[in-house]
Amino acid sequence: MSEASSTAVAIIMRTKNRSLLLDRAVRDVIGQSFQDWTLVVVNDGGDPHEVDPVIDRHRQELAGRVHVLTHESSKGMEAASNAGIAASSSEFIAVHDDDDTWHPEFLQRTVEYLRSTQDAGVGVRTEIVFERLVDGGVEEVSREIFEPGIRAISLFDTLRSNRCVPISLLYRRSVHDAVGYFDETLDVVGDWEFLLRVLQHNSIGFIDGEPLAFWRQRRESTGDLGNSVIVADQAHHVFDRAVRERYLRSYVSETGLGGLLYLTRHQDGEIGHFHHRQTYSEGLLREILERTKHTEERLQALEAAVSDASLVSLVRRRFRRVADRLRRK
């Protein structure tokens, strides 16, 4: 396939055997107020009959701005992203998975932001939409703001976990010249590892306010219809640890083990202290439960009498857990 014509935004859409969700995602892109884009659909090892009819259905609206890549066998999410990027030419890149959606103003506002700053990319306020597949359709179950405390996309926060999932981000293509492409050895967490590389030398902006991206999750779906963050939960733990181990080894090769040995021993001491407080709070709460009516008012009175904020939070959590267990007995 020839390289896609150059546009402001290349939208990389990874898909595999879920035409219902793909159709919604394609309509989502078509519905953007900003129209200077190319859509590259990467069918990563799925049945072409799950893709081709969807594209044909919207061929007129797509007006020659769509390109389909088909992998005969699945190469993984990051390889799919890299293939879509390589097959396109644009100023900016967005990875729009086939089950997520945007606010109609997502591209307009993110492109305007990047053209007015030097930031490498920009993330947006994001909402998690829980849904389920019912009778050949999609039914919304509930919504919640993803990471409501975020006010910026920082390296400090990203070291802990990914606070800017793919549907939430628009970034400059030139970033790849500086930090490379997505790591195809990672089955999952590749988007997080990519952000770690970007944020070491670049800033990523953040557009707060109403959600402009919607990260859709289906707790009950499995297989191709599921979300990797749910159906591949164990893999996320494994590859998260692998990425951290890689960076730790690189750090140790330059600085040595001395400081880290001290910190890990100090951490062990803190953990022991925490468990001591946890055991204490367990016994304290059992006594409270036995001698009172287990009311929230009693817990609030306890809070007022304790000055240690972390202990207060711990007491509250343990209270509720113990209360639930005792009530079930």
> What is the per-residue pLDDT for 269?
61
Start-to-end CA span in the chain (Å): 65
> Is residue 19 within 8 Å of residue 43, measured between CB atoms?
no
What is the model's pTM? 0.77
**Domain 6-250, second-level architecture:** Alpha-Beta Complex (3.90)
Compute mean pLDDT per 10 residues along the chain, 329 residues long, and list them: 70 95 97 98 96 96 95 95 97 97 98 98 97 89 94 95 96 97 95 97 97 91 61 79 93 85 70 49 53 53 54 59 58
Domain ranges of the chain: 6-250, 258-328
Looking at residue 1, its pLDDT comes to 38
| Residues in contact with 106: Cβ distance below 8 Å, sequence separation at least 6, in sequence order | 32, 124, 170, 212, 213
pLDDT at site 258 = 82
* Count of beta carbons in the 10 Å neighbourhood of residue 261: 10
C-alpha span between 314 and 308 (Å, rounded): 10
SS (H, E, C) the chain: CCCCCEEEEEEEEEECCCHHHHHHHHHHHHCCCCCCEEEEEEEECCCHHHCHHHHHHCHHHHCCCEEEEEECCCCCHHHHHHHHHHCCEEEEEEECCCCCEECCCHHHHHHHHHHCCCCCEEEECEEEEEEEEECCEEEEEEEEECCCCCCCECHHHHHHCCCCCHHHEEEECCHHHHHCCCCCCCCCCHHHHHHHHHHCCCCEEEECCCCCEEEEECCCCCHHHCCHHHHCHHHHHHHHHHHHHHHHHHHHHHHCCHHHHHHHHHHHHHHHHHHHHHHHHHHHHHHHHHHCCCCHHHHHHHHHHCCCHHHHHHHHHHHHHHHHHHHHC
